[in-house]
Amino acid sequence: MKIKISPFNQKNILITGGTGSLGKALTYHLLKYYTPNTIRILSRDEMKQWEMKKHFSSLDKKGLLRFFLGDVREKSRLHRAFENVDIVIHAAALKQVPACEYNPIEAIRTNIEGAINVIDAALDNEVEKIIALSTDKASQPVNLYGATKLCSDKLFINANNYRGFKKTAFSVVRYGNVIGSRGSVVPLFTEQAQSGVLTITDKEMTRFWITLSEAVKFIISSLEIMQGGELFVPKIPSMKLLDLVRAIAPNAKLVVSGIRPGEKLHESLISSDEARNTIDLGDRYVIQPENVMVWNPKHYKNTKPVDRDFSYYSQNNTDFLSTTEMKEKIKQASYEDNSL
């Protein structure tokens, strides 16, 4: 059933990197539960666009989907694609850690220079709201991917100072590993399980976990409540990678390969240095900006600041998934993937 009242209804929405796992899940959710005017998908791969158009043909009865070939590196293309757009979800990025380590200039051109182009196009076309998708690897980064996303986050947050009298508002969402997404370790382990041998980097490694549908709902709800300048962080569970292996293939032989270059033993969603600017909204945290002139600290009601010594790391999380709970999460992710 369609939601009657929403900031997405009768709006023109654009998703950069929209043919990826998250872009497809967002598109499905928007088509199924809202009534947008159009949904524009900007991406580089014409085959993926053709496959996506065919895949959503039965759900997109009114022909709301529009497909734009282009790259966030191409400023002129973004300016044309952003014309008359009300809401932008910026999901385009180079995000494979080893690939970014080996091709650092390419990562910078897409994740940082691409972010600048998106910001300029949004301001010049007076987009109402734009939310950029980040990663736990941007908090205290140790690899180039995390560093480029941290830089991108700073650009989007502080873009609110560039808007002047324009209405454009910029915010960021930061979350952990998406179960079942393209490039996730879950499909890799599932594939390896068929051979009876699984490779793990370190038995003590922990990660934050979120399903695609949870990520989509978090992005959409953040878009609904944002004022511009926030960095939203969901409250999500952690799990040891060793327990994930037990959930997928409990009888498999385990090979420990060692931590790869640019990889952390544990991930961070909120560092202790960010705690002084963090408030608790109940289902999520908001890291407030330090130097955004248009920020209104009274925008959110009934909130409380976190403790000064607060930090949100995957290893000190109070919510850890059991192997049974992770099995259910994986089943849910598989069901959602088949439903898309």
- How confident is the model over 75-83, as a mean pLDDT? 97
Instruction: Look over the chain and give the mean of its residue pLDDT values, rounded to a whole number.
Output: 92
| Helices vs. strands in the chain: H and E counts, helices first | 11, 17
pLDDT digit string (tens) for 240-275? 999 998 889 888 899 998 988 888 999 999 999 999
| Number of alpha carbons in the 13 Å side-chain half-sphere of residue 257 | 9
The predicted pLDDT at position 125 comes to: 97
Question: Do residues 174 and 233 lie in contact, with contact meaning Cβ atoms separated by under 8 Å?
Answer: yes
Confidence of residue 327 (pLDDT cuts 50, 70, 90): confident
Calpha distance 115→173 (Å, rounded): 14
Q: Is 226 strand, coil or helix?
A: coil
| 28: CATH | 3.40.50.720
Residue 72 resides in a domain: yes
Q: Is 325 strand, coil or helix?
A: helix
Q: Residue 65 forms beta bridges with which residues?
A: 39
Residue 73 resides in a domain: yes
- In this predicted structure, the answer to whether residue 77 has a pLDDT above a threshold of 80 is yes
Q: Which amino acid is at 163?
A: R
Return the structure tokens found at 18: 């929209």
Residue 24 resides in a domain: yes
Residue 337 resides in a domain: no
Confidence of residue 76 (pLDDT cuts 50, 70, 90): very high
Return the structure tokens found at 91: 């999901």
Confidence of residue 336 (pLDDT cuts 50, 70, 90): low
Say whether 48 is catalytic.
no
Return the structure tokens found at 126: 């007076």
Q: Is 323 strand, coil or helix?
A: helix
Token pair 């008359």 in the structure block, residue: 84
b/e code 310-327 from CB counts within 10 Å (16+ = b): bbbbbeebeeebebebbe
* Residues 6 or more apart in contact with residue 110 via CB below 8 angstroms: 71, 72, 73, 92, 93, 94
Residue 304 resides in a domain: yes
Number of domains composing the chain: 1
- How confident is the model over 154-165, as a mean pLDDT? 94
Residue 57 resides in a domain: yes
The predicted pLDDT at position 338 comes to: 60
Residue 27: other Cβ atoms inside 10 A: 27
Residue 74 resides in a domain: yes
- In this predicted structure, the answer to whether residue 292 has a pLDDT above a threshold of 90 is no
Exposed, middle or buried by CB within 10 Å (0-12, 13-18, 19+), for 167? exposed
High-pLDDT (> 70) share of the chain, % = 96
Residue 16 resides in a domain: yes
Structural domain span for residue 144: 12-176+209-236+269-314
Spot the catalytic one: 137, 240, 264, 329. 137
Confidence of residue 337 (pLDDT cuts 50, 70, 90): low
